[in-house]
Structures are given as structure tokens and as C-alpha cells.
Amino acid sequence: MISRGLSFKLGSVSTGTVSKSLCGSPVLVKRQYANLTEEQKERLAEGPGLEDFISGDASGYAGQESIKRVKGERLRLPDWLKTEIPVGKNFIALKKSLRKLNLHTVCEEAKCPNIGECWGGGEHATATATIMVLGDQCTRGCRFCSVKTSRNPPPPDPMEPVNTATAIADWGLDYVVLTSVDRDDLPDGGAAHFAQTVREIKSRNSSILVECLTPDFRGDLEAVTVVADSGLDVYAHNMETVEELQWLVRDPRANYKQSMSVLSHVKSRYPKMVTKTSIMLGLGETDEQVMKTLEDLRQIDVDCLTLGQYMQPTKRHLKVKEYVHPDKFKYWEEIGNKLGFVYTASGPLVRSSYKAGEFFLKNLLEKRKMEVK
């Protein structure tokens, strides 16, 4: 029998469902609340009714919270994580330019949910893309990342630094993010290639601000120095998750202390350089673990922090443990600011290269350059 139901209230407590069968006879189906605690019954009694949802005024309900996965079930994507399909002239033009020059972006490879907003531009049609150098095949296999993997990827394209700089000059950007796959197959992890790309960009326009989001170079601090010495403006390296979940989330060749050492080394060598990192939430971390990570980052004077929702890119990757509510992200933003981060961007769709942070960093960098002068 197919039935359609409508929940209703009797007094102040929802007690049943009116169902209408195909034959048209109404049937009252009693809900069983015998196993609920008094607290749960009270929440049901005080929760939003049908009229609240019809009017769209249920947002203030105290019961709203993060959505956690039940074992054996897949989480449904909450409304706050749904984005529009990418379209627009800027989006199409940028994609054609990338293909023509054989360039890759982490926006595409990592299936970033903000690609339509960043590539399409906003009110002033300012498009932003994060260029991925050293090819599109990574030698590591982190369980959260959808970038292609290979034990023996093709050698880096020697023309990539020039092509990247040419594209950026053509786009007329004033802030660009460079990132890369891990290249454990290369003696220096690709550090020299990274640095050459920065120099090519700066040689065409010294006023362009360059952020480099680098791998950990297997903990080789000399390789880190090569990139830091290239003339970049922001050095970024992502922690990805809390210390307790590193083994589960990242490739075994990556770890918490190694990533901390990269950020610490850059700051000790260039105290005025802006350092930046990113953490994903929704992987099963606890509040205490997140707080400890933030405190550790402030201990080594990391300037900027972004926190975003982990989203499972394919069925082969780690499942989402929890869709963290936007209010919780707001909480972490406030905590980050209190701890002393110069800038904290925290939200379900925030990513390490999200352009909202770039506008802030642009102003911060220009201010610091004026202070040096």
C-alpha cells in the first residue's frame, strides 16, 4: 500500500501521523515515544511545528546541530553545502586558457566546491584560480584527496614556469596561488621548479603577490628554504587534520610534526613572511584536538588559518564522519581570532585558497611592505 503522510500537532506534542491510503480511508498511525528520555520528549514538544517550516522560520530552533554519520549509512549533503553549477564567461575563458597552455589547477583536480565562484568572478568579475605546478600526478595517496596518483609520474614540464607566468600576466591578476602535487620521485621534491615559477611570475610583474601552498618536501628544510627564498609573499602548508587523525587521513610519508617543522622553519628564517595553514573538519576530530592544533600553530607564530568541511570526493575516499554546522565554524573563527591569528577564515565551504582570504592577505602584505620601508 502506498501512503502519503502529514505530521501534525495535538496540543504542544506531536503525537501521530495522518496517512491516506489509495482507497481514501484516513488512518492514524501512533508514534512510539516510550523509549525516549524525558529530555528528548521535551525537545520534541518544544521543537518547530509544520507552520514553522512552511513559513521558513525554523532557523532559530535550538535543536539544529551538526549532522553525524551513523555506522553503515551515508550522510546526505545538508543544504548549507550545496553550490551552484559553475557557469559564466570568466569560467569558460579561464578554462580554455588553462587547456591551451597545458596547465592544471587544484580547483579542478581536487573538485573544489568553490570553483564556480572563484573562476566565474563576483560583482567586479575578478576571477581567481590556484595553479598546480609539477604536473597532475601525485606520488602520495592521501585518503581525502582526489588528485591522480602515480609511483612514477612524468618529469616536470620545463616550460611550465614560463607558461604559468604567461597565463597569469594575461589574466591580469594581482594575487595568485601556486600549489603542487607531492613529487617524492624528485631529489628536491620539485622545490627548484616551484621557485623558478615564482621568479618567472615576478619578472613579468613585480607587484603581483604570490602565495605558495607547498608539500612538506619529506621534511627536507633545505628544499623549504629554496621556495621561501624565491621571492614569494605568503608561504602556506596545510596541516590537513589534527595530530590524532594524521595516520588515517594522510599518506604515511606525511605527519603532524613534519608539517609543523615546515611552517616553523619558514617563520624562523623570515619572521615578517606571512605563513598560512588549513585544517579540515568532519573527519572525526574532537573539539579538544582541534583546540590543541590551533594552540600548536600559534606557538610557531602561524599568521593565517582556514577551516573547512571535509567532503568525500569519491566513494573510494574516506567517508565524512560529520557535517559540521555553520555555527560551529563560526565558533572556531572566534577562537582563532582570540588565539591571535591575524586572519581566521572558517566555514563549511572555506578552502585553503579561498579568495575571501586572498583579499585580506593582499591588504596585509601591502601594509607589512610599507612598514619595512
Q: Which helix (H) or strand (E) holds 223?
A: helix 221-228
Grouping H, G, I as helix, E, B as strand and the rest as coil, residue 177 is: strand
- SS3 per-residue string spanning 329-340: HHHHHHHHHHHC
How many Cα neighbours within 13 Å face the side chain of 361? 31
> CA torsion sign, 205 to 188 to 297 to 318?
positive
- Do the bridges between strand 137-138 and strand 130-133 make them parallel or antiparallel, or are there none, so unpaired? unpaired
- Do the bridges between strand 13-20 and strand 26-30 make them parallel or antiparallel, or are there none, so unpaired? antiparallel
Q: Which three cell numbers stand for residue 18?
A: 495522518
Binding-site residues for [4Fe-4S] cluster, please? 107, 112, 118, 138, 142, 145, 353
- Do the bridges between strand 234-236 and strand 209-213 make them parallel or antiparallel, or are there none, so unpaired? parallel
Q: What is the C-alpha to C-alpha distance for residues 214 and 235, in angstroms, rounded to an integer? A: 8
Of 286, 264, 290, residue with least CA distance to 278? 290
Which amino acid appears at position 212 of this protein?
C
How many Cα neighbours within 13 Å face the side chain of 356? 14
CB 14 within 8 A of CB 44: yes
Binding-site residues, please? 107, 112, 118, 138, 142, 145, 353
Q: What is the C-alpha to C-alpha distance for residues 270 and 124, in angstroms, rounded to an integer? A: 34
In 282-325 the beta strands, taken as DSSP E runs, fall at 304-309, 322-323
Q: What is the C-alpha to C-alpha distance for residues 87 and 314, in angstroms, rounded to an integer? A: 23
